[in-house]
């Protein structure tokens, strides 16, 4: 499975403008229990720096752009998100770091579960230990 999994959203548009519809278990590959979004981010402030044990997420840069470094403990890849037509799957056990936010960036995240700090792995060494213990 590729580390960078982008989902192409179908654009429903007409002369009045564009529209994207996100539906659980259709173009979003899980039940959606939570939606949150980042805005007023700073270009020099990176965020994330964690992985999740069970949570699955899809991130969409609905306005502006940002970069995300994805890391599954074996390889690292960076993707620039600058389109409201694409979602990035942030799957379980994928360490992610977001940075280079444009001033107008609005980054929306669809999540498969409610917020639960217990599901976070915020220590990179612990993340690597868990990846190795699972392989
Ligand atoms: P944090 O995990 O540091 O954000 P990021 O992953 O973007 O670096 O979250 C910031 C704060 O918001 C932290 O105190 C946890 C809280 N929070 C919630 O209460 N609910 C949520 O759905 C999220 C994502 C965060």
CATH code of the domain in which 42 resides: 2.60.120.10
Q: How many domains does the chain have?
A: 1
CA-closest candidate to residue 91, choices 65, 70, 106:
70
Provide the domain limits for residue 67: 5-11+19-134
pTM of the model: 0.96
Residue nearest to atom 22 of ligand 1 (CA): 115
Evaluate whether 133 touches 105 at the Cβ level (below 8 Å): no
pLDDT at 12 over 80: yes
Which residue among 48, 51, 96, 101 is best mutated to probe the pocket of ligand 1, counting the most ligand atoms within 8 A of its Cβ?
48
pLDDT tens figures, 82-123: 999 999 999 999 999 999 999 999 999 999 999 999 999 999
pLDDT tier at 1, thresholds 50, 70, 90:
confident
């Amino acid at each position: 499975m590729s580390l960078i999994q982008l989902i192409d959203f179908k654009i429903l548009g007409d002369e009045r403008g564009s529209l994207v519809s996100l539906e659980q278990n259709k173009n979003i590959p899980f039940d959606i229990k939570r939606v949150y979004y980042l805005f007023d981010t700073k270009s020099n402030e990176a965020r994330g720096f964690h992985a999740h044990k069970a949570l699955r997420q899809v991130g969409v840069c609905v306005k502006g752009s940002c970069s995300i470094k994805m890391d599954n403990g074996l390889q690292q890849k960076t993707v620039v998100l600058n389109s409201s037509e694409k979602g990035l799957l942030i799957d379980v056990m994928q360490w992610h770091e977001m940075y280079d936010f444009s001033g107008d960036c609005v980054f929306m995240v669809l999540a498969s579960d409610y917020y639960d700090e217990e599901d976070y792995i915020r220590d990179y060494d612990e993340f690597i230990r868990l990846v190795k213990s699972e392989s």
